[in-house]
Amino acid sequence: MFLPFLFAGCSAEPSFKSVGVEEFSAIAEKENTIVVDVRRADEWAEGHLESATCNIDALQEDFTDKAKAILPKDKTIAIYCRSGRRSKAAATQLAEQGFEVVELDGGIISWQESGKGVVK
């Protein structure tokens, strides 16, 4: 009878918070947050969030190594991609490394659909 509860506690994975545009925008404005675009460099060049301070391609094999070398663990890492798929995978990887991660659900697509702009 208690077995499901026992095993539920053992399978806890590092987690991240997935938030909508308005909450992500508020988090991105905080001093203790670093906004990271995890899309390809060509996608970054087409337009990115103004608050994004770096671009680390989540599809590259060395994504985690680059992130660990660049990002401080004492800050909140707010990440996004195009639609939210890559950023969710990247958020999982970063959370496994001990980062506090917030991910933009729906990516830059949802950002722009809400009327928020990007910079080039």
Active site residues: 81
CA separation for the pair 49, 117 (Å, rounded):
7
Name the residue type at position 40.
Answer: R
CA separation for the pair 113, 4 (Å, rounded):
42
CA separation for the pair 65, 21 (Å, rounded):
28
